[in-house]
Amino acid sequence: MQELSPRPFIQQLSHALIAIGIITIGIYFGQDIVVPLAMALLLAVLLRPVEAFLIRMGIPKVLAITMAVTLAVLVLVGVTLLLSIQISDFSDEWPKLKKNINDFYRQVRRWIRREYRLSYWQQDQYLKKAQTQTLENFQSAETLGVVTGPLGTLILLPIYVFLLLYYRTMLLHFMVVLFTEKHKGKVVEVLNEIKTIIQSYMVGLLLETTAVATLNCVGLLLLNVQYAILLGVMAAILNLVPYIGGLVSIALAVLVTFINHPDGYTLLGVVGVFTAVQFIDNNLLVPLIIGSKVKINALASIVGVLIGGALAGFSGMFLSIPAIAILKAIFDRIENLKAWGILLGDESPEKARKSLIKTIAREKDPPQD
């Protein structure tokens, strides 16, 4: 996809920035439509091998797609039931937890009064003001949209997945016909690589999440921590959000453990378990299971996760990594966008230094015609 007459750099940069701005605004204001479609696309690519296997078994296409989507829904329902059982057990302990929280609350009030000279009456006034603002936010229409949005997504997601699988050939045909004849080979190559990236990422992510959940649960069970399975599985799910999810899972586990096991040794043990699992995950599971298909550097990943969270919340954070990987696959094959592919890539510092030296040398001594 190389341009016949290269445009000035400032023109290319301005067009790129304008395109980024339009796409960002579109995602922010249309996230209720874009995010479910993006999630459905990932699931559709993940379920495509299952559909193909069922079709090879002689099952009609519509029935094969229905069975594949149903299988995914059953897996999701099974995980939800497991978490629901654990949460139900957790709620049975509420009187004990309430007593522990009240004791801790009284200790904090006494500490604030002693350290900051705030009377109990002043503290109550601050709390009442905070409660009033929170209730007003929950009563707003925006909060209602936040609550109902995920429910609508759960209903639409299986429908989107079914339709994307059913109309897959038509959509691929559209993507190929969209470009001129000389670019069709490059387009097909990019589409095949995007499919490979998504499948590798999603399958690897499922295996990685299962392994992380198992390690978390085993470690917490060895420490005799209450609700070990609940905390281990929730931490693995939060780990789907790179970098940030791991920190949130540690904070959540420490908070719940502190309520039931306030001794310092158990808390340190919980932190040690999650830190060890994070180390194993980052240095062994991710390279081994997910592989080298998603070649993105840590800086681009963190910035992408933060931008995705700002645009579309938790779903945006989860979708940011495959989205960046897809963009890199496209950038690497477009001459004018290769620099952006380098910016997103995970090239080692030594290799990047050698590439930089070669590029500078080539600019100083251009090849003769």
Find the mean pLDDT for residues 340-365: 68
Q: How many CB atoms lie within 10 A of CB 268?
A: 12
Task: For residue 140, name the pLDDT band (cuts at 50, 70, 90).
Answer: very low
Pairwise pLDDT comparison (163 vs 251), residue with the higher score: 163
Please, are residues 73 and 48 in contact by the beta-carbon 8 Å criterion? no
Give the C-alpha separation, 95 to 115, whole Å: 30
Grade residue 67 by pLDDT with cuts at 50, 70 and 90: very high
- The Cβ of residue 217 has, within 10 Å, a number of other Cβ atoms equal to 20
DSSP of 107-166, one letter per residue? HHHHHHHHHH---HHHHHHHHHHHHHHHHHHHHSHHHHHHHHHHHHHHHHHHHHHHHHHH
pLDDT of 146 over the 50 cut: no
Report pLDDT for 3: 45
Q: For residues 246 and 99, is the Cβ–Cβ distance under 8 A?
A: no
* Interval 2-26 mean pLDDT: 72
Q: Which H/E stretch holds residue 344?
A: helix 338-344
Nearest Cα neighbor of 246 from 218, 273, 268, 264 is 273
Between CA 65 and CA 72 the distance in angstroms is 11
Q: Could you identify the residue written with the tokens 């604030």?
A: 112
User: Looking at residue 148, what is its pLDDT?
Assistant: 41
* pLDDT surpasses 50 at 188: yes
Tell me what the mean pLDDT of segment 244-256 comes to.
76
- pLDDT beyond 80 at 113: no
Q: Which two tokens stand for residue 331?
A: 């950038």
Q: How far, rounded to the nearest angstrom, does the alpha carbon of residue 338 sit from its chain's CA centroid? A: 25
The sign of the dihedral angle between the CA atoms of 336, 340, 345, 351 is positive
174-188, 235-249, 289-303: least confidently modelled range? 289-303
